[in-house]
Amino acid sequence: MMTKTTIITGANGNIGSTIAAKLLDQGDSVALIYHGSRNRIDSLIKQYPQNTLSLKADIKDAAFGNKISSVLTKNRWVADTLVHTAAMRSYDHSSLAESEPSVWREVIETNLLGTYNVLRGILRYFANSTQQNQASLRRIILFGSDVSRLGLPYGSAYSASKAAISNISRSLSVELSKDMILINTISPGPVEIDDSDFPEDYRKFRKQYYQDMLKKIPLKRFAEPEDVAALTLFLISEENRYITGEEFFLTGGKR
Ligand SMILES: NC(=O)c1ccc[n+]([C@@H]2O[C@H](COP(=O)([O-])OP(=O)(O)OC[C@H]3O[C@@H](n4cnc5c(N)ncnc54)[C@H](OP(=O)(O)O)[C@@H]3O)[C@@H](O)[C@H]2O)c1
């Protein structure tokens, strides 16, 4: 199997760092894009110094792509895959009627316009950098959420932003087919993650939501980041030659 070079946004996050660890374990190289904290990626960089690059970047920055491509080029790396996990959850859990326009705007700017910045930047990078032997490897994974089909009461901005993401991947699957770039969206239900940094009232809101969800999941547990990583690794592998433009709901059987 050919080794891959993957750009991961949100690489310090719960899911992004798990995907990065699995790719590095199998001998791939990973460009770890982080935003604020970098505690999880620091240990990966220590363990795999040759196969990692790290870069602090904000996906809200329209120049995101230029920043990433100049670091890759400077280090003579050629990336073939993008796994875009970065997103903000809104800790605000007010109803839409009571919500502040600034909070709505921030969520849409990060999750939706941020995804636009990432995709526009990386697609331009792919167009200028891809070598012949990597053309068959180019893959993109975006992250939606099960809330894109369910909605999320008291979280409508987040939910709307996630629904838009899977729609973008359907449009792009057609635009990118001529270049054999496959793009898919993974939309997990609740994932078991570390919530110790979340504000207390948001943790309570989230805990209630998770308890209600658990009753509806046939497999009777939440997804773990490893479950999400397993699907990601398959979709970005050479073995996936025909799946593009799809949204995968990772929900333990819940509809
Ligand atoms: N966990 C779940 O239950 C769940 C369920 C469904 C879908 N998802 C989706 O799966 C993806 C990963 O989730 P996760 O649980 O791993 O989330 P996470 O742990 O909160 O990680 C998200 C990462 O995105 C980064 N980020 C936020 N704003 C950014 C910005 N403006 N520019 C660059 N990076 C930014 C964060 O960095 P900082 O913290 O430093 O800002 C963080 O490392 C997300 O797209 C999420 O919507 C998650």
Residue 61 lies in a domain: yes
Residue 255 lies in a domain: no
Domain that holds residue 76: 5-250
Residue 240 lies in a domain: yes
Determine the pLDDT at residue 96: 96
The Å distance, Cα 133 to ligand 1 centre, comes to 32
The response to whether residue 251 sits with its C-beta less than 6 Å from ligand 1 reads no
What's the structural domain count of the chain? 1
Number of Cβ within a 10 Å radius of residue 245: 17
Residue 246 lies in a domain: yes
Residue 11 near residue 17 (C-beta atoms within 8 A): yes
Residue 212 lies in a domain: yes
31-82 pLDDT, tens digit per residue, is: 999 999 999 999 999 999 999 999 999 999 999 999 999 999 999 999 999 9
Instruction: Calculate the CA 77 to chain-centre distance.
Output: 21
CA dist list (Å): 98 to 95, 104, 151, 154, 202: 5, 11, 17, 10, 16
The response to whether residue 14 sits with its C-beta less than 6 Å from ligand 1 reads yes
* Mean pLDDT rounded to a whole number for the chain: 95
Write down how long the chain is: 255
Determine the pLDDT at residue 39: 96
Q: What is the pTM of this model?
A: 0.97
Residue of 44, 90, 145 with the most ligand 1 atoms within 8 Å of its CB, for mutation = 145
Residue 173 lies in a domain: yes
Residue of 85, 90, 186, 192 with the most ligand 1 atoms within 8 Å of its CB, for mutation = 85
CATH number of the domain encompassing residue 172: 3.40.50.720
Residue 180 lies in a domain: yes
Q: pLDDT at residue 20 above 90?
A: yes
Interatomic CA distance for residues 14 and 11, integer angstroms: 8
The Å distance, Cα 80 to ligand 1 centre, comes to 22
The Å distance, Cα 162 to ligand 1 centre, comes to 12
The response to whether residue 15 sits with its C-beta less than 6 Å from ligand 1 reads yes
The response to whether residue 172 sits with its C-beta less than 6 Å from ligand 1 reads no
Q: Which residues pair with 71 in a beta bridge?
A: none
The response to whether residue 54 sits with its C-beta less than 6 Å from ligand 1 reads no
Residue 41 lies in a domain: yes
Determine the pLDDT at residue 135: 59
Q: pLDDT at residue 124 above 90?
A: yes
